[in-house]
Structure 1
Amino acid sequence: MNRWLKPYPSVEQRYGHLLLEERADRDQNLAAELVPYFESAHRDAREHFAAQIGIDLHPDADEDDDDGVALLLYPGCLPPAARRGLFGEVMAGLAAEHYKFVGEHEWSIPIFLFRYHADVEKYLFDLARDSARVRAVFGRFGSDFLGISLSGDGAVARLIVGEAKWRETLNASTVDNLMLGEWKRNRKTGERVRKGGVWFEINRDLDVPHGVRQLQRLLFERDRDGHAAAIVSLDRALALRNPVAIPRTNLILIAGDGAATREPQTALIGWEEIPAEYTSANDLQVVELILDEGVALVDEIYDLLWAED
């Protein structure tokens, strides 16, 4: 990370901003060095989807149709737009675990929630049975990213819940549309207004979103003993009656190439004070990941995942 990106961090009370700019000379082995983390992030979903589709990932499985199986293996077989979205979500986890965010909590991402991408499951199931069914994939519902900070006894002391967005070129108008929502015409008044956007979604999110239940179930299934205290603390936070609150930090990560006219060290989301559009009481961390030929990097990473297999 340090050889790849140059960080420009700032913290103002409960607001952290981190600008990450790609260094001038990208290491030709960068994608290969990132592969282990990306494989770890996607391993649970890969195994889950393979079972749902009917693909045996065991090395001793029937090899009669190796080429056909390889074409269907998640996540490499997904459409390019879907892979770029996944890249942003994985980078949110990598950034949270590597850099100091607002509050200087120690974040860990025990497992990513990619298996809960229902449209990907349907896409893969259909594609396995009809290779012509290539199409765009809808995004996953709920939070893009979820991590935890553990107390000394292993209970969850704090949540980090995030939105990760990829745009091929990042400029002021693109980020405005992303954060404030696209312009829409009011049918009654004819007035142009913005609808949706990241600020709207993150401000109205539940303190304990649905992803927390998904994370708890995955921890119970994959590492019940290792995360026993975390599972119990999440269960208490999810209770419908008298829930035990867990403090939360919100994370927004935007990734993509900088515009041709962009000056170095220029942020697209203000860093000097917390943005006026943010009305949540939770701490906020913004990460801007500015790349150079990011599409090529994303494609190289996802083409390399499990390539040796």
Structure 2
Amino acid sequence: MIRSRRVTLQPLNAWLVPQPLTSVNSKYELRVWREVNANFGALRDELVAYAQEALDDARSRIRKGFEDHLSPFSDRVDDPAVHYPAMLNRITLQGYLGETLAGLAVEHFGALGEKDWHVPAFLFRFHDQEFQHLDLINERIIMGESHDPDAEAEKRPGRTGDDALAFQLDGEGKITHVLALEAKCLAVSNSAIIADAHGKLAAGTRRPSGIRELINLLSDYENNEAQAWVARLLELYRDGFKTVKRSDGLAYTVGNSPIKPKTRLSWLQADAPHASYTVDRQLDAMEFQLTELKVLVDTLYRGA
């Protein structure tokens, strides 16, 4: 599925307010946004729609083979995706939020000094552990058994591989730049997670694994735009990665701000990447400080 939804910039900028930071590192930039809760209402419906569209491909995969095209899921019990993602554990939903914010930021705020980035699809369909978990959840609910989505036993491992990929195109529609995105979303900042995120990006190859996954995903859709993306991604996968420039992006979403904001505006380092980022590539770091993270997760994914 090719995504098309965007949100209106004015309410987005009023909700996520950029903080004043300067950097003299030519290969590293940190940008920080802080949530202004009072301004969320004007953006709420658009952001819910954006987050839900990001999951539509995963829903399609869950439903594949189950749908009667003459009468699609007239009974909610027959819909294998009816409880996706609301009944999944909060940690999984935070992960979905982190990846979605990564794509949203690149599409709306730009990256590496450029605005025209494209995220053709998110990769949520490859979270197989949660799809297996969803079958168990659906069975419990059908049988009238209780289900506490946030119980410790309901946690599942996160999806491996690239969290998201963004691309720049030239005038002929060919891919010229790839931005590999690593996303983390935590209730409380964690220095070990920050180090791990930088290390994962450093270990990334010139041909990100998410390119193959995007080709598999978009091949399921027969519309012209999806097939155009398949063609350009195949060209990139086969040989283009040798010349197309890969850069990295880190999206760090956290539910708390530094205690002394006058002396420290961010959890991520302002002037240079973490020491675990050991490659010589451009890195765009983005930090989102959301004081109402729990409420936001419930709003976007549980209909609160």
Task: Report the TM-score when normalising by structure 2.
Answer: 0.81
Worse-superposed segment, 115-124 or 217-226: 217-226
**Counterpart residue number, 1:216:** 215
**Counterpart residue number, 1:263:** 261
Q: CA deviation at 1:75?
A: 1.7
Q: 1:260 to 1:243 in 2, by over 3 A?
A: closer
Instruction: Say whether the 8 Å CA contact 1:46–1:73 is kept in structure 2.
Output: no
Instruction: Say whether the 8 Å CA contact 2:80–2:138 is kept in structure 1.
Output: no
Deviations 1:28-57 (A, max 9, x none): 3543230121122111111111226x4x49
Structure 1 residue aligned with 2:89, among 69, 79, 100? 79
Instruction: Say whether the 8 Å CA contact 1:154–1:227 is kept in structure 2.
Output: no
Mapped partners of 1:57, 1:163: distance in 2: 37
**Counterpart residue number, 1:50:** 63
Instruction: Say whether the 8 Å CA contact 2:29–2:285 is kept in structure 1.
Output: yes
Q: CA deviation at 1:274?
A: 4.2
Mapped partners of 1:30, 1:255: distance in 2: 18
Mapped partners of 1:62, 1:283: distance in 2: 47
1:155-234 aligned within 5 A: 155-170=174-189, 174=190, 176-180=191-195, 197-222=196-221, 225-228=224-227, 230-234=229-233
Mapped partners of 2:71, 2:200: distance in 1: 46
Structure 2 residue aligned with 1:90, among 100, 103, 107? 100
Q: 1:219 to 1:71 in 2, by over 3 A?
A: closer
**Counterpart residue number, 1:282:** 281
Does residue 143 of the first structure (1) align with residue 162 of the second (2)? yes
Mapped partners of 1:167, 1:23: distance in 2: 18
Q: Secondary structure at the match of 1:258?
A: coil
Q: CA deviation at 1:226?
A: 2.0
Instruction: Say whether the 8 Å CA contact 1:32–1:301 is kept in structure 2.
Output: no
Does residue 254 of the first structure (1) align with residue 252 of the second (2)? yes
Aligned residues: 281
Gaps of 5+ in 2: 1-11
**Counterpart residue number, 1:35:** 48
Q: 1:245 to 1:130 in 2, by over 3 A?
A: farther
Gaps of 5+ in 1: 181-196
Instruction: Say whether the 8 Å CA contact 1:50–1:73 is kept in structure 2.
Output: no
Amino acid at match of 1:13: S
Deviations 1:7-29 (A, max 9, x none): 13655312121101112524335
**CA RMSD between the two structures:** 2.8
Q: Secondary structure at the match of 1:278?
A: coil
Q: 1:159 to 1:122 in 2, by over 3 A?
A: same
Deviations 1:154-181 (A, max 9, x none): 11111111111111022xxx1x21122x
Mapped partners of 1:103, 1:86: distance in 2: 26
Q: 1:177 to 1:129 in 2, by over 3 A?
A: same
Q: Work out the percentage of aligned pairs sharing the same amino acid.
A: 25
Instruction: Say whether the 8 Å CA contact 1:105–1:149 is kept in structure 2.
Output: no
Q: CA deviation at 1:106?
A: 1.5
The structure that is strand-richer by fraction is 1
Mapped partners of 1:278, 1:162: distance in 2: 14
**Counterpart residue number, 2:29:** 16
Q: 1:155 to 1:221 in 2, by over 3 A?
A: farther
**Counterpart residue number, 1:106:** 116
**Counterpart residue number, 2:301:** 302
Task: Report the TM-score when normalising by structure 1.
Answer: 0.80
Mapped partners of 2:162, 2:70: distance in 1: 34
Q: Secondary structure at the match of 1:40?
A: helix
Mapped partners of 1:261, 1:17: distance in 2: 19
Worse-superposed segment, 96-105 or 128-137: 128-137
**Counterpart residue number, 1:245:** 243
